Structure 1
Amino acid sequence: MGSSARCAVMVLVAGAVFALSACGVDDEGESGQARQEIAVRGCSPENPLIPGMTMESCGGQIVNQLFSMLIRYEPDTGEPVNEIAESIESDDNRTWTITLEDGWTFHNGEPITAHNFVNAWNWNAYAPNGTLNSYYFRAIEGYADLQPSDEVDSDEEITPDMVESDEMSGLQIIDDMTFKVTLSRPESSFPLRLGYVAFAPLPEHFFDNPEEFGENPVGSGPFQLVDWNRNVDIRLRAFPGYRGEVQPQVDEVNFRIYRDDTAAYNDLQADNLDIMPYLPSAALADSTYKGDLGDRYVREEALAVSTIMFPPESVDPSLSDPRLRRAISMAIDRESIIDAIFHGSRDPATGWVPPGVEGYRPDVCGEYCEYDPDAARDLFDEAGGYDGALTISYNADGDNRAWVEATCHSISDALDVECVGKPVPDFKTFRSQINADEMTGMFRNSWNADYPSIESFLAPVYATDAAGNDAGHHNPEFDELVAEAATLSGEDALEKYKAAEELLVEKMPSIPLWYSTIVAGYSTRVENVKITPFQTVDLLSVRLDDD
């Protein structure tokens, strides 16, 4: 796609993007009228903009605007409602018939049919393609045939001769508007996942050159890509053919990439940035943001939990002893760090599932998530201590340094061991090192719900070979519990998920830190700003202020 005219002159100074003029008042569309544009604080996607390769927030905030799914989630409640799907039906929770609503197209005008879904899902699940989101298709019959039959090393390339098929037997096209999905076992929760971006349809030309497509994606969502300037900005434009019930209220959205939160916040106050989804901790101190922004902020409880993740044992065996992990957890004074760094905008985490999620239960982690320096030191000594310095890696382009240093200070004081923060230049590099199994030592993690279910915090993060299992956690009993839970509904399902969460205490693959309350800010130029339960900006709600 070609570049569009810019509404603000952009310069890069000391790694941060600054706007030299306010955005949106002098950029004209084809009609000659001023184009309504807003600027949102963004960050650098880890991978090309392909749904099957996007499981992190920087890429997710873009891909979720470019692609429509079978269902969408209401921005206020997170409740699922049909989008491209006209109906999703099953008599037995195992065989699902999905009928599409006629008239949906991709941004290039190509009609969306059942083939676009089936082909996309098969491509995502096919192990030789190396997609990060392959795991999300595990429930579909025949998924195992697209995976290697023998164990492979994490750094070993998976080739077509290692798998039996490139198509899942559980996908069947009935006609252009209908396809059937047969699961390996009944799962009542299956439709809930279908609003996650991995399940998006893909146009035919994607399969000719996926790598090129990822640089210039053609989706079906409310916005289409105009251009992507690496480490500077990503510009989207409203798609006039979007079939959704709620239409975009602005013409263009510029996701402006900053490497410094202070610079972004300064631009927000100067009306050179319209929406900042996360305000920096300095603005939270003594509610400074209220004086700076007045009533131009949104404060929402998020479906998210922040953790310190441990690397897989194969990557760094020095941290594999669960006693050591528990000792480190007990050495962290969560309440003091929240008061000093986050100024009360977090709550200490006592488990791996946050409040607001059905099935949440407090104190799952028990004593191991309570600050007890004496008990922590005893357990640390019992585990044999630690040779060298403990490290916590984090992406330096986020607001992480202060809390990482405070956490390390707490650990050092309690355990009498050196602990240091280990900055990685940006989020893209940070996530790339994790996915390549190059990250040694502990590292920060924040997991947001991909869909409104307790399952989203357990199976994708801690099940064997799951998409977000950065710790390499493996527990067959855990795997069976979350698999069984997916076949049930209501309280029966929740009890299984709760039992699975309890098992995480055994190996302690991560340390729960805190549950988040999101505080976002916006400029005088916009109104009706909403932050969804998934910590994303609802770009269909926001509009320019007419006053």
Structure 2
Amino acid sequence: MKKTKWFLLLVLGLVLSMFLAACGGDDGDENAGDDTGNEEQNEGENGEDEEKILRILESAEIPTMDPSLATDVVALNFIDATYEGLYRVAPGGEIVSGLANKDETEVSEDGLTWTFHLRDDATWSNGEPVTAHDFVYSWRRAIDPETGSQYGPYFFSGLVKNATEISATDEDGNPLYPDMFGKVEELGVTAVDDYTLQVELVNPAPYFESFAAFPVFVPLNEEFVESQGENFALEVENMIFNGPFVMTEWKHEESWTLEKNPDYWDAENVGLDGIEVSVVKERSTAVNLYESGEVDRVGLSGDFIDQYKTRPDYGTAMEPVTFYLQFNRESAEKAEYMNNENFRRALATGFSKQEFIDVVYKNDSVPANGLVPKEFVKHPETGEDFRDLSGDHLVSDIEGAQEAWEKAKEELGFDEVTITFMSGDTETSKLTTEFFKDQWENNLPGLTVELKNVPFKERLRLSREGLFEVVFSGWGPDYLDPMTFMDLFVTDGSYNDGSYSNEQFDELIELAKTEYAQDQNKRWEAMVQAEQILMDEVGIGPVFQRARSFLQQPYVKNMELNPFGPDFSFKYVTIEK
């Protein structure tokens, strides 16, 4: 989840995935949009006819319900709830069968050809059967340059046969492979028959099962999508679904409603009758809704943690989600400054990471001294955590930051400079930008920081278009491998908003994906070395790894954070009173 795979864009609290996927991550607000749950009571407080309705809160509108265009964790959460792909993520991060039977999937000896055998009893909500042709259409649509997908090229390029040639462009937008550009029919995905899907890879991918469970890989019904044209996925009437739930109402910027899909192939194992979501930005309002019994789970940070942490319904969980500073080295007004390593180093180390956590979050979050979070993934042969192998980088160091700042002043020839710092518009996001302004202006003489707090969807757009100087970003893993973080910052990468570029970094990532794909020792060594280069050059400034604190009613079951992909697997959530 996080650009938020969340970007890592991660929005349960405006973090982006993205979260990303998920995702694109966002500003690190740990709850104002935390997915929270509640039950609607119908016939008596605990009557047998009581529907199991989960009421949850988000701090932002769903930016899109188009699986080809989604990049943030809010969209990915609800696309995962309303669509079914090849596989699905179950509680605890287990990858289980979706439309494809995992036990019947065939993989060639060289790891390059995957054959998926699909169920023949799955249907769309308009009654049409779900077939292998729906996957072919969806994947081609995601890689098609005309679609404008970020996740499509990010996931497919360098992995699925011909994906790079179909979509790759240079920095000016010119096709790198003119003879193949846009020829989506050449993508290495084939419907062998109605219920057999074959995928050809360029290189073996040890994490391809995780890919197959990610929302960008879900099918789409070509006839329906094409009939909707530009209106597809804009409103409820412009969508059909094949997942555990269907969206029945969408009041933009206010709320949306999902209902259990009676035609879903595994409907008997869906634990909820429905989900109701309201957009609430103010933390105090969200907490009051929980206290009044109108929601069943609410995320906490700041003073609310001190107030509620001794209660039995309080919980906390560490996430594999990293938040960091991105410096715009290309299109920003202050690009000359952002291209100076000492200038970036001063910003990346000139504040206290622990004090940031203590002031803004007041929970069990920890300082991040690298890109890949701790306790996310271990070396498949030695069992060593990636974080331990790479070490600590860019730790808080006020004195060292001040030395770097003075060097930057000499190298760039300035005494005073003003920069703009962008983040979200939730309470936590505003506390975040205010904290950095205070620390930077006090620790780095001559620096003035102007704050820019914008709605989540707008922050995604401005970041994607390079319309920022420094932005607070986050990323949660889309799949269970360090690469979900590492290839974010290859030259011209889809989520490399700050335009970081290093040839050796790019070469190491390419080697890890190609020549070393089946040699885990060399592969991990390349990824560790790549992270060390990124940190040594201050390509980004890691800030913290988030722990999520919350209040949750005991009758909400199986609402657990996933270790990768969408934050929650709503199919498995239920209410037991």
Does the pair score TM above 0.5?
yes
d(CA) in 1 for partners of 2:187 and 2:459? 37
User: Do the aligned partners of residues 94 and 237 (structure 1) sit closer, same or farther apart at CA in structure 2, a change above 3 Å counting?
Assistant: same
Who is 2:383 aligned against?
Answer: none
User: 1:195-251 CA deviation, whole Å, 9 max, x = no partner?
Assistant: 111111111211333532212332222111011111111111111222348822221
RMSD: 2.9
Aligned partner (choices 55, 71, 87) of residue 39 of structure 1: 55
Give the conservation status (yes or no) of the 8 Å contact 2:189–2:198.
yes
Who is 2:475 aligned against?
Answer: 447
Give the conservation status (yes or no) of the 8 Å contact 2:110–2:204.
yes
User: Do the aligned partners of residues 417 and 266 (structure 1) sit closer, same or farther apart at CA in structure 2, a change above 3 Å counting?
Assistant: farther
d(CA) in 1 for partners of 2:346 and 2:86? 45
Deviating more after overlay: 425-434 vs 120-129: 425-434
User: Do the aligned partners of residues 249 and 189 (structure 1) sit closer, same or farther apart at CA in structure 2, a change above 3 Å counting?
Assistant: closer
Give the conservation status (yes or no) of the 8 Å contact 1:222–1:239.
yes
* SS at structure 2 position matched to 1:51: coil
Who is 1:55 aligned against?
Answer: 71
Who is 2:523 aligned against?
Answer: 493
Who is 2:405 aligned against?
Answer: 380
Give the conservation status (yes or no) of the 8 Å contact 1:331–1:411.
yes
d(CA) in 2 for partners of 1:27 and 1:141? 55
d(CA) in 2 for partners of 1:331 and 1:107? 54
Who is 1:74 aligned against?
Answer: 90
Aligned partner (choices 191, 204, 225) of residue 247 of structure 2: 225
* SS at structure 2 position matched to 1:227: strand
Matched AA of 2:408? A
Who is 1:349 aligned against?
Answer: 368
User: Do the aligned partners of residues 362 and 163 (structure 1) sit closer, same or farther apart at CA in structure 2, a change above 3 Å counting?
Assistant: same
Matched AA of 2:292? A
d(CA) in 2 for partners of 1:398 and 1:168? 47
d(CA) in 1 for partners of 2:249 and 2:123? 21
Deviating more after overlay: 388-397 vs 48-57: 388-397
Give the conservation status (yes or no) of the 8 Å contact 2:56–2:295.
yes
Equivalences for residues 461-480 of structure 1 within 5 A = 461-480=488-507
d(CA) in 1 for partners of 2:445 and 2:181? 50
Aligned partner (choices 270, 274, 295) of residue 252 of structure 1: 274
Matched AA of 1:300? A
Give the superposition deviation at 1:397: 2.4
Matched AA of 1:530? E
Give the conservation status (yes or no) of the 8 Å contact 1:148–1:162.
no
**Are 2:364 and 1:339 equivalent residues in the alignment?**
no
Give the superposition deviation at 1:302: 0.7
**Are 2:466 and 1:437 equivalent residues in the alignment?**
yes
Equivalences for residues 98-247 of structure 1 within 5 A = 98-134=116-152, 135-138=154-157, 139-147=159-167, 151-153=171-173, 163-204=181-222, 205-215=224-234, 216=236, 217-244=239-266, 247=269
User: 1:258-289 CA deviation, whole Å, 9 max, x = no partner?
Assistant: 1212211111111112222x3232212x3x22
Give the conservation status (yes or no) of the 8 Å contact 2:301–2:360.
no
Matched AA of 2:76? G
**Are 2:450 and 1:393 equivalent residues in the alignment?**
no
d(CA) in 1 for partners of 2:541 and 2:169? 33
Give the superposition deviation at 1:514: 0.8
User: Do the aligned partners of residues 507 and 126 (structure 1) sit closer, same or farther apart at CA in structure 2, a change above 3 Å counting?
Assistant: farther
Matched AA of 2:313? R
Who is 1:519 aligned against?
Answer: 549
Higher relative contact order (CA 8 A, sep 6+): 2
User: Do the aligned partners of residues 231 and 169 (structure 1) sit closer, same or farther apart at CA in structure 2, a change above 3 Å counting?
Assistant: closer
d(CA) in 2 for partners of 1:347 and 1:126? 40
List runs of 5+ in structure 1 lacking aligned partners. 1-15
* SS at structure 2 position matched to 1:224: strand
Who is 2:571 aligned against?
Answer: 540
Question: Identity over aligned residues, as a percent?
Answer: 22
User: Do the aligned partners of residues 234 and 157 (structure 1) sit closer, same or farther apart at CA in structure 2, a change above 3 Å counting?
Assistant: farther
Matched AA of 1:463? V
Give the superposition deviation at 1:331: 0.5
Give the conservation status (yes or no) of the 8 Å contact 1:389–1:420.
yes
Who is 1:403 aligned against?
Answer: 432
* SS at structure 1 position matched to 2:300: coil
Matched AA of 2:66? I
d(CA) in 2 for partners of 1:491 and 1:227? 50
Who is 2:11 aligned against?
Answer: none
User: Do the aligned partners of residues 212 and 322 (structure 1) sit closer, same or farther apart at CA in structure 2, a change above 3 Å counting?
Assistant: same
d(CA) in 1 for partners of 2:57 and 2:342? 40
Give the superposition deviation at 1:252: 1.3
**Are 2:301 and 1:280 equivalent residues in the alignment?**
yes
Give the superposition deviation at 1:39: 0.9
d(CA) in 1 for partners of 2:62 and 2:540? 22
Give the superposition deviation at 1:443: 1.1
Who is 1:4 aligned against?
Answer: none
Give the conservation status (yes or no) of the 8 Å contact 1:333–1:407.
no
d(CA) in 1 for partners of 2:274 and 2:65? 18
Deviating more after overlay: 406-415 vs 441-450: 406-415
TM-score of the superposition, structure 1-length normalised? 0.86
Matched AA of 1:53? L
d(CA) in 2 for partners of 1:157 and 1:142? 13
User: 1:98-156 CA deviation, whole Å, 9 max, x = no partner?
Assistant: 22222122222221111111111011001121112122111111113322555425xx9
Who is 2:98 aligned against?
Answer: 83
User: Do the aligned partners of residues 189 and 35 (structure 1) sit closer, same or farther apart at CA in structure 2, a change above 3 Å counting?
Assistant: closer
Matched AA of 2:135? F
* SS at structure 2 position matched to 1:339: helix
Who is 1:315 aligned against?
Answer: 332
Give the conservation status (yes or no) of the 8 Å contact 1:37–1:252.
yes
d(CA) in 1 for partners of 2:169 and 2:462? 27
Matched AA of 2:200? T
User: 1:482-509 CA deviation, whole Å, 9 max, x = no partner?
Assistant: 2332323543432222122112124423
Matched AA of 1:176? D
Give the conservation status (yes or no) of the 8 Å contact 2:61–2:253.
no
Who is 2:284 aligned against?
Answer: 262
**Are 2:329 and 1:301 equivalent residues in the alignment?**
no
Aligned partner (choices 379, 384, 387) of residue 361 of structure 1: 387
d(CA) in 2 for partners of 1:71 and 1:56? 20
Give the superposition deviation at 1:89: 2.5
Who is 1:12 aligned against?
Answer: none
d(CA) in 1 for partners of 2:544 and 2:49? 47
User: 1:334-386 CA deviation, whole Å, 9 max, x = no partner?
Assistant: 122222332242111110000122242248474x5222222211111212266
User: Do the aligned partners of residues 319 and 365 (structure 1) sit closer, same or farther apart at CA in structure 2, a change above 3 Å counting?
Assistant: farther
d(CA) in 2 for partners of 1:455 and 1:239? 35
User: 1:7-29 CA deviation, whole Å, 9 max, x = no partner?
Assistant: xxxxxxxxx99xxxx9622499x
Paired positions, count: 512
Who is 1:6 aligned against?
Answer: none
